[in-house]
């Protein structure tokens, strides 16, 4: 009776080739994974800046909706401003003067309780990585002979720069219509 022994397994050469192929595949996968992580960080940074800008714009619109006596360009006399102005002041729902300006550092500034809003007394509403290049306010419906519901439209343009140096241009237009209870 004869018994034959068959050996099963991989030879050393087969093991080296399979490890080499596995290493190459893992190298390509890791490169793609690192790129994906980098793109995710950039997207999160852009979303964070966009959320910051959105919060500032919504905060401005909310206070304007409940405001009265809109004064475009802070002339001291509430008037329509159909050609647009760089600043706006109004009385909020508590009777305080609120003003918005474009600060020289490229941010949107807010002053509360003071009639004159300047760079040095304005609180920045936007993130330092957001650079406002244009801020214009358009006021309609203010005045004794105007039957239109008072509303303010404001246009903001600028750039957002992420920590990675990626620059995104933006332009936003939104409006706020006065919402007072008329009894």
CA 6 from chain centre, in angstroms, equals 71
DSSP codes, 22-34? HHHHHHHHHHHHH
Cα gap 164→37, rounded to integer Å: 13
Residues 18-65: tens digit of each pLDDT: 999 999 999 999 999 999 998 888 888 888 888 989 999 999 999 888
**How much is the pLDDT for 76?**
61
Q: pLDDT grade, residue 181 (50/70/90)?
A: low
Q: Is the pLDDT of residue 14 over 80?
A: yes
**How much is the pLDDT for 149?**
79
Mean pLDDT of the chain: 85
The CB density around residue 178, as the number of other CB atoms within 10 Å, is 17
């Amino acid at each position: 009776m004869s018994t034959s022994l068959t050996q099963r397994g991989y030879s050393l050469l087969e093991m080296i080739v399979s490890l080499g192929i596995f290493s190459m595949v893992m190298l390509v996968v890791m490169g793609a994974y690192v790129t994906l992580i980098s793109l995710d960080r950039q997207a999160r940074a852009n979303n964070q800046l966009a959320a910051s800008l959105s919060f500032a714009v919504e905060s401005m619109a909310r206070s304007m909706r409940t405001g009265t006596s809109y004064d475009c360009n802070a002339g001291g006399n509430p008037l329509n401003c159909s050609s647009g102005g760089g600043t706006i002041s109004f009385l909020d729902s508590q009777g305080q003067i609120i003003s918005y300006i474009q600060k020289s550092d490229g941010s949107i500034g807010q002053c509360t309780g003071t009639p004159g809003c300047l760079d040095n007394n304005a609180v920045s509403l936007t993130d330092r990585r957001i650079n406002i290049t244009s801020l214009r306010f358009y006021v309609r419906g203010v005045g004794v002979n105007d039957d239109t519901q008072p509303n303010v439209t404001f246009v903001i343009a600028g750039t957002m720069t992420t920590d990675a140096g990626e620059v995104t241009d933006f332009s936003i237009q939104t409006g706020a219509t006065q919402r007072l209870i008329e009894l």
